[in-house]
């Protein structure tokens, strides 16, 4: 297990294809990408929900450092 947790929110309509470049980049550099929100509807108050969901996600992690990555948009 690494000391770094790389994570992103993936509330897209096509989670299996949206974010593929980000997954490939993380794999290339040996980073395990953790995604949350898959299969869930996009929260209406996205900016606030993003922070709350990130804190909730990280509360269950043990890594020393965290890096939030944003899914690229078309």
Please state, rounded to an integer, the average pLDDT across all residues of the chain.
Answer: 84
What's the gap between Cα 3 and its chain centre?
16
Q: What is the distance between the alpha carbons of residues 43 and 61, in angstroms, rounded to a whole number?
A: 23
pTM of the model: 0.76
pLDDT digits (tens, 9 = 90+) for 53-65: 888 889 989 999 9
What would the mean pLDDT of 61-70 be, rounded to a whole number? 90
Can you tell me whether residue 35 is helix, strand or coil? strand
At 49 the pLDDT is: 74
Q: What is the distance between the alpha carbons of residues 30 and 55, in angstroms, rounded to a whole number?
A: 24
At 73 the pLDDT is: 57
- Per-residue pLDDT for 28 more than 90? yes
- Per-residue pLDDT for 13 more than 90? no
């Amino acid at each position: 297990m690494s000391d770094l947790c790389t994570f992103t929110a993936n509330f897209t309509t096509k989670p299996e294809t949206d974010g593929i470049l980000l997954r490939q980049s993380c794999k290339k550099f040996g980073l395990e990408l953790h995604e949350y929100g898959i299969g869930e509807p996009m929260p209406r108050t996205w900016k606030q929900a993003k922070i709350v969901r990130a804190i909730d996600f990280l509360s269950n992690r043990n890594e020393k450092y965290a890096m939030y990555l944003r899914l690229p948009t078309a």
